[in-house]
Amino acid sequence: MGRPREFNEGQAVQKATRLFWEKGFAATSTDALLKEMDIGRQSLYNAFGGKRQLYLEALRSYQANTTAGHLDRLNEPSSPLAGIRQLLTGIAAEDDETRALGCLGVGSVSEFGTRDPELSRMHEAVNRTLHEGLIARIQEAKSLGEIDEGLSAERAAEFVLLTMTGLQMAARGGANTESMHRMAAFTVDRLAMS
């Protein structure tokens, strides 16, 4: 019996992530994953337990990276309103091919809805983190006079999150960077005018 071929699990997850991102869970076959990751079936099961577990690992990794990027863009500028603008404009990847993929997390919600409790918990955790970060920046914007003091920080944060989802779906539908940036600016302008 030959020794199993060794492979880099991190790189394998990255390759699987891209395939799941492009096609979704159901449309990504195990054979396609094996080919993309350049591993054997037994290596997949030994390392990840199967297609579903690999998908969960890919989604966790993707969400950790994208959430960190969202929060960095949100919190980097000294102006909270500029941070919200940067968060939204940053959703539009400059690369046409990457932008057309939209968001793996939003794609997962589109594919599974609330039918999968484990995925639902993952999505809720990401949304809670982003919602809390947005509330903090919106409260800061209110204290600085960038946003009307009477605006509900909770509702405004929900509005921004909904806009993020819409922008990610628009990207998947072929929206270009310019139109996505216009919608991001429109959203921020509505907050500033409240």
For residue 103, give the DSSP letter.
-
CB atoms within 10 A of CB 60: 14
Q: Which two tokens stand for residue 71?
A: 């929060």
Average pLDDT over residues 6-21: 91
The mean pLDDT of 96-106, rounded to a whole number, is 95
- Res 44: pLDDT: 92
Q: Is residue 176 a contact partner of residue 93, using CB atoms and an 8 Å limit?
A: no
Predicted confidence band of residue 140 (pLDDT cuts 50, 70, 90): very high
Q: Where along the chain do its domains lie?
A: 58-193
Helix and strand counts by DSSP (H, E) for the chain: 10, 0
pLDDT at 98 over 60: yes
> What is the predicted pLDDT for the residue at 2?
45
31-45 mean pLDDT:
94
The span from the CA of 6 to the CA of 191, in Å, is 52
- Mean pLDDT value across residues 139-164: 96
Q: How many angstroms separate the most distant Cα atoms in the chain? A: 71
* Confidence tier at 7 by pLDDT (50, 70, 90): confident
Mean pLDDT of the chain: 94
CATH fold, domain 58-193, is: Tetracycline Repressor; domain 2 (1.10.357)
What is the distance between the alpha carbons of residues 54 and 14, in angstroms, rounded to a whole number?
10
Phi–psi pair at 62, nearest 5 degrees: -60, -50
Q: What percent of the chain has pLDDT over 90?
A: 93
CA distance 152 to 165: 20
For residue 3, what pLDDT band results from cuts at 50, 70 and 90?
A: very low
Asked if pLDDT for residue 4 goes beyond 60, the answer is: no
DSSP string, 100-126: TT--HHHHHHHHHTTS-HHHHHHHHHH
